[in-house]
A and B are shown apart, each in its own frame.
Chain A
């Protein structure tokens, strides 16, 4: 089966610009996660969707980050405006149901904010 797809793989922007990332989970997976992984640290959960509803967005900086999962399939994560500290790898993962289930990760989008 096809894995989790993400695009773009790399993005370089200047601070205060906006950027969007796209994720296509494994077909049939109800749960989708966005993580932020800063160099040298473990991933931090930004937002979790169950179908097209938000389950947990407690660590999402809502003043600049937004995410949506229209139709409960693909998802986009947007940053507007970007800050230097947003430089990180943004990982998308999906699982068939939810927590405790194996999560399948995409290759990630590496963002560099200059």
Chain B
């Protein structure tokens, strides 16, 4: 079993829909990261959080430390949101980043 699990693996939605991507982890962490990777592009860090909730524009990230679960939400989704969204955690022992497999999101106009 992977230490960081994301769901769904693939998600296709219509423009304007509310999007949720989930991340569960099984290790102790110091921080959880949400990152975005466009096809052929580099990786952009969206959020780093260790508790609670963060919001930036139409993106919201939440984390529940007790349940070892985080969600990334996109409100009023747009085709330009189409990308791979990756959850990664910083371990609390050696601090190495442990990566999820990513969620491929396609938003159709």
Contact = CB atoms under 8 A, between A and B. Distances in A.
A102 B97 contact: no
Interface residues of B, number: 21
Given A100-B90, A100-B95, A107 B102 contact: no
B45 A42 contact: no
Nearest to A107: B42
A66 interface: no
A34 interface: no
A6 B101 CA distance: 24
B64 to A, nearest CB: 19
Contacts, number: 48
Contacts of B95: 98-100
Interface residues of A, number: 21
Nearest to A105: B43
Among A4, A93, A100, chain B packs the most CB atoms within 10 A around the CB of: A100
A42 B30 contact: no
14 contacts: A42-B99, A42-B102, A43-B43, A43-B99, A98-B95, A99-B90, A100-B31, A100-B48, A100-B90, A102-B33, A105-B43, A105-B45, A108-B43, A110-B40
Given A99-B95, A103-B45, A110-B40, 12 more contacts: A42-B86, A42-B99, A43-B43, A45-B96, A99-B97, A100-B48, A101-B48, A105-B43, A105-B45, A106-B42, A108-B42, A108-B43
